[in-house]
Amino acid sequence: MAGVQHAELKTGRLRRSGAAPVGVLTKVLSIFELLDRAPGGLQLRNIADQTGLNKSTAYRFLAHLERAGYLVRDLTGAYLIGPRLVHLGANSTYQATISRLSRPVMEDLWRETDETVNLGALDGTEVLYIDVLESPHHFRLSSQKGMRRAINCTALGKAVLAWLPPATRDELLAHCKFEKRTPHSITQPSELLAELGRIQRRGYAVDNEEVETGACCVAAPIFDSSGLIAASISVAGPVTRMGHNRIPTIAGLVTGAAARISRSLGYKEARPEHERPPRSRKARRA
Amino acid sequence: MAGVQHAELKTGRLRRSGAAPVGVLTKVLSIFELLDRAPGGLQLRNIADQTGLNKSTAYRFLAHLERAGYLVRDLTGAYLIGPRLVHLGANSTYQATISRLSRPVMEDLWRETDETVNLGALDGTEVLYIDVLESPHHFRLSSQKGMRRAINCTALGKAVLAWLPPATRDELLAHCKFEKRTPHSITQPSELLAELGRIQRRGYAVDNEEVETGACCVAAPIFDSSGLIAASISVAGPVTRMGHNRIPTIAGLVTGAAARISRSLGYKEARPEHERPPRSRKARRA
DNA sequence: ACCTCTGTTTCACTATGTGGGACGGATGCA
DNA sequence: TGCATCCGTCCCACATAGTGAAACAGAGGT
């Protein structure tokens, strides 16, 4: 019960989410997700069947969504995800959102470790440093926002790589050039693949003087509500302060921080605590 | 009133859209669009005020959407577009949707002109040919699906370029290399800018032997329900069949086809060819 | 300490969404 | 060609499900 999770306790303004769900929303969202899984589009009939909605109800929703430009129909009458839905969220870059949500957690991590804290995400074939908090030490690893690094040699990059869907991962690996920058550098694709397996098993990535002698990084993956890898967070410092004995501690802090960010992004893994009380207002139907 | 628009009349299966709107949907969509215009996120209070919803109602919706992963909150409680909403429609490529909706209209156009009909969209810094219907003539312009061309020398590309937001347009123009492929080629950026102005005013683009001597294309822009340029459609043939006297006719057919596709994408425009409203955006918060 | 601002919860009311059923056009089968 | 079936669209009486005023509870601000 010690002051472990600052970010959580600070925000007393918002309580647990205990509001009753809205039926219409549940139904509409189920339509969205069904349509998202059906790239070829779906007929009214199929939508009604697969969502369990009444045909009339589904029709009313679909007609409304179509008029609003969220859905379009081809000439057979099949409904498809429309322009407006695709462009939603295109204005605010998603990375800005992640950055904003990560800030408080990064600050905690920075306070706990006194080392440089980085937040990164895949951007093209590289890792983009979305946000950086530099260590207060004079001797430190310096990075800056907007910086890009190869995906295969940083802990930040490896953490992303390890949890990417295999197809995407392999495509990216094909673009990697394996430079031997230090004696510890990974120079073989097969070697990297094995390393990614280890990373996935233990839950975090380590760069132990692979890119620069004397520099060490520990990174953990951040997931969003779809369960997809969204970003990664790392702690970086000189090996003199981040020796073998300290790495497990750091790794624990980093994975914890990553998990907290994932949760604020809506990621739900196996119940961290209690189940959610159903809070049914009235029992109905079969 | 003769049989002008085949694609419309054929689909007797679907009548006019006369279903009653769903109140909850209207409200939720207004929240989506408000949030989309506010990259920095919005507090419950602001959302309720700006959408005209009751605070309780807005709260219930927002809480539900957050639980579903469609929205996220930062630690101040502000709501932001969340992961699930961003990824919607990422599965089915939007180009596939456009292609499917355009097919019947392309076929009409093909029948009306007997020339090659192309459908293109911006992909990176080039034009991607999404779909192609080749002319039945032995002497024809041949293209194929998946082909890419420079954006500055094809009618397809110029039509897209002319209606792109100025910032995006200028960025793309910076990447153009102006090759002199024929005596008619545009070789100066300033010259191209002037041409884009003309294109916008008359509503369609023409490539008159600019990329290949003897080849002529006429292209018109396709808009989606957000009013953004989504693609372009062109008719291409030898100058021997597409002389100066025939171009106005073709242009009419092409712009008509483009307008029909735009409509099926949810684009609604009272004025077919007046100037575009300024679409001013709010500077900052209140 | 105060006051005022948030977000959250409750609860009785009734507007609002519901869904069975009917209609008409389109397609398939014989 | 006619019959049968399927689909999307529309209608309307009914009661569920959404509504919103008001009360509650913390967090800041002064």
CA-closest candidate to residue B286, choices B29, B46, B106: B46
**Nearest residue to nucleotide C9 when comparing alpha carbons to its C1'?**
A19
What average pLDDT does range B105-132 have in this prediction? 92
3-state secondary structure of B119: strand
Please name the residues between 123 and 162 in chain B that touch chain A, using a CB distance below 8 Å.
Answer: none
| pLDDT per residue as tens digits for the range B144-195 | 888 899 998 899 999 999 999 999 999 899 888 888 888 888 988 899 999 9
Question: What pLDDT does A95 receive?
Answer: 85
Name the residue among A149, A145, A144 with its Cα closest to residue A124.
Answer: A149
Contacts of residue B163, defined as CB under 8 A and 6 or more positions apart, other chains included, come to B200, B221, B223, B229
pLDDT (0 to 100) of residue A264: 85
Buried b or exposed e, range B117-130, using 16+ CB within 10 angstroms: bbbbbbeeebbbbb
E-state strands within chain A: 71-73, 79-81, 116-123, 126-133, 148-150, 205-208, 215-223, 229-238
Task: DSSP for B262-283, please give it.
Answer: HHHTT---S-SSSPPP------
Distance CA B8, CA B16 (A): 11
Nearest nt (C1') to A281 (CA)?
D17
Report the C-alpha gap between A185 and A167 in whole angstroms: 24
pLDDT of B264: 86
pLDDT over threshold 60, residue B1 = no
Between B269 and B155, the more confident residue is B155
Torsional sign, CA B157, B160, B162, B166 = negative
DSSP reduced 3-state for B165: coil
CB A136 within 8 A of CB A172: no
Report pLDDT for B17: 61
Q: How close B226 gets to chain A, by Cα (Å)?
A: 6
A257 φ, ψ to 5°?
A: -60, -45
What's the CA gap between B102 and B109, in Å, rounded?
A: 10
Q: Is the dihedral of CA B105, B107, B109, B112 positive or negative?
A: negative
Q: Which residues of B touch A92 (CB under 8 A)?
A: 36, 38-40, 80-81
The residues that bridge with B120 in the sheet, in sequence order, are: B129, B232
From the CB of residue B273, how many other CB atoms can be counted at a distance below 10 Å? Answer: 12
pLDDT of residue A176: 86
**What are B78-105's pLDDT values in tens digits?**
899 988 888 886 766 788 889 888 988 9
For residue A24, give the nearest of B7, B24, B264 by CB distance: B24
pLDDT surpassing 90 at residue B202: yes
* Position A101, amino acid: L
Q: Strand pairing partners for A73?
A: A79
Model confidence at B121, pLDDT cuts 50, 70, 90, reads very high
Tell me the nearest-neighbour CA distance from A279 into chain B, angstroms.
13
Q: Residue B132 pLDDT > 80, yes or no?
A: yes
Whether residue A83 contacts residue A72, with contact meaning beta carbons closer than 8 Å, is answered with yes
Q: Look at residue A15 in the predicted model and tell me its pLDDT.
A: 56
The rounded distance, in Å, linking the Cα atoms of B77 and B44 is 8
* B79, containing H or E segment: strand B79-81
Q: What per-residue confidence (pLDDT) applies to A9?
A: 35
A7 lies within 8 A of chain B by CB = yes
Are the C-beta atoms of B272 and B258 separated by less than 8 Å?
no
How far, in Å, CA of A245 to CA of A94, rounded? 37
> Residue B225: which pLDDT band, with cuts at 50, 70 and 90?
confident
Output DSSP code: residue A42: B
Q: Measured in Å, how far apart are chain B's first and last C-alpha atoms?
A: 52
Instruction: Flag residues of chain A having pLDDT under 50.
Output: 1-12, 271-286
Tell me the chain B residues in contact with residue A99 when contact means C-beta distances shorter than 8 Å.
Answer: none
Per-residue pLDDT tens digits for B29-45: 999 999 988 878 899 99
Tokens of A175: 């673009």
Q: Quote the percentage of chain B above a pLDDT of 70.
A: 86
Checking if the pLDDT of B77 tops 90, the result is no
Residues 93-122 of A with CB under 7 A from strand D: none
Which is more confident, B148 or B16? B148
What count of other Cβ atoms lies within 10 Å of the Cβ of residue B16? Answer: 5
Closest partner residue to A224 (CB to CB) among B60, B83, B92 is B83
**Residue B155: its pLDDT value, please?**
95
